[in-house]
Amino acid sequence: MVQRAPFVVDPRDPRAPTQEQWDTLTEPERAAVVAMLPNEVSIEEMAPEGDRHRTGKEGPLDALGRFFERLGRKVYLSSELAVYYPGARKIVPDVLAVLDVDPRERTKWVVSSEGKGLDFVLEVHVEGDKAKDHERNVALYASLGIPEYAILDRGRARLKMYRLPSANARVYDPVVPQAGRYPSRVLGLDLALEDDHLRFFHGTVALPEADDMIRELGKMVDDLVAKRETAEQRADDAERRLAEALAEIERLKSR
């Protein structure tokens, strides 16, 4: 009997096994393959674009995380995570979402091991290679079967969104905005651009982000301080009037 050679990850071009190869592996072999796939992200794969790029990712992650947590729905959200589709080169999306899975922390996402691919991807572009997000990733993410892909171009203050027309389709259709909002069937939310900032809407209500909540808490604190100062001033005034009244009583008694 010829012994089957184990799957080997090429460090120069690390890829997960094809689905056919994966199906032939034992559980220990699969675990070994997942461990061999690198989770490091090179500078070429994720070139730094400054604070506008960072905040362009953090805001959506925070808003989506709070929204789905309130709903009690398990959604895995991450940023700049190494993702391995069967037989394909690694992708590293700025923001990704996978619905109805364990939201535990991960160092990589191996589709065959997880049993599911990504549901939604957001790329944030500020400067540099515009064709990567606007052209190459449009074709690549569609070919991988990612249902929805959005591009926040903060450099030009533009938002674009694409959707697969069916589960088996591998070419995106552009999503046409409705009154400035792009409906996401995957997330059950609308996406809209405010200046160069991406906001998510549930119906007519914008999902709050951490900065919004900090501002609201700051206003609440300011209001409480103002009310306390007003109450203290009223108490001082009342105490002063009481003292004046008592003094007047004593004056009248002494007449």
Query: 52 with 81: CB under 8 angstroms?
Result: no
SS3 254: coil
- pLDDT for 170 equals 97
Spatial strand order of the sheet with 189-194 comes to 181-184, 189-194, 197-202, 205-206
- pLDDT for 168 equals 96
Which of 25, 44, 43, 42 shows the shortest CA–CA distance to 34? 25
46, exposed or middle or buried, with CB in 10 Å at 0-12, 13-18, 19+? middle
Query: What is the rounded distance in angstroms from the CA atom of residue 242 to the CA atom of residue 236?
Result: 10
- pLDDT for 166 equals 97
Rounded average pLDDT over 206-217: 61
10, exposed or middle or buried, with CB in 10 Å at 0-12, 13-18, 19+? exposed
Query: 120 with 128: CB under 8 angstroms?
Result: no
Report the share of the chain in percent with pLDDT over 70: 88
Under the banding of pLDDT at 50, 70 and 90, the label for residue 212 is low
Query: 37 with 14: CB under 8 angstroms?
Result: yes
Query: What is the rounded distance in angstroms from the CA atom of residue 191 to the CA atom of residue 60?
Result: 10
Token pair of 133, please?
């997000």
Residue 222 has pLDDT above 70, yes or no: no
pLDDT averaged over the chain? 88
Residue 106 has pLDDT above 90, yes or no: yes
Residue 196 has pLDDT above 60, yes or no: yes
Under the banding of pLDDT at 50, 70 and 90, the label for residue 229 is low
Query: 150 with 121: CB under 8 angstroms?
Result: yes
Query: What is the rounded distance in angstroms from the CA atom of residue 171 to the CA atom of residue 141?
Result: 9
- pLDDT for 239 equals 82
- pLDDT for 245 equals 80
Rounded average pLDDT over 74-97: 97
Under the banding of pLDDT at 50, 70 and 90, the label for residue 214 is very low
Residue 10 has pLDDT above 80, yes or no: yes
Higher pLDDT, 243 or 26: 26
Rounded average pLDDT over 193-200: 93
Token pair of 96, please?
């990704």
Q: Give the contacts of 66 (CB within 8 A, at least 6 positions apart).
A: 207, 208
Higher pLDDT, 5 or 8: 8
Question: Which stretches of the chain are DSSP H helices?
Answer: 19-24, 27-36, 51-71, 111-114, 130-131, 137-143, 210-253
Residue 160 has pLDDT above 60, yes or no: yes
pLDDT for 44-63, tens place per residue?
A: 677 767 899 999 999 999 99
Which of 163, 79, 162, 158 shows the shortest CA–CA distance to 125? 158
The residue ranges of every structural domain in the chain are: 19-206, 209-255
Rounded average pLDDT over 155-169: 96
Q: Give the contacts of 56 (CB within 8 A, at least 6 positions apart).
A: 94, 124, 126, 152, 154, 197, 198
Residue 175 has pLDDT above 80, yes or no: yes
Q: Which CATH superfamily is domain 19-206 in?
A: tt1808, chain A (3.90.1570.10)
pTM (two decimals): 0.80
Rounded average pLDDT over 205-215: 67
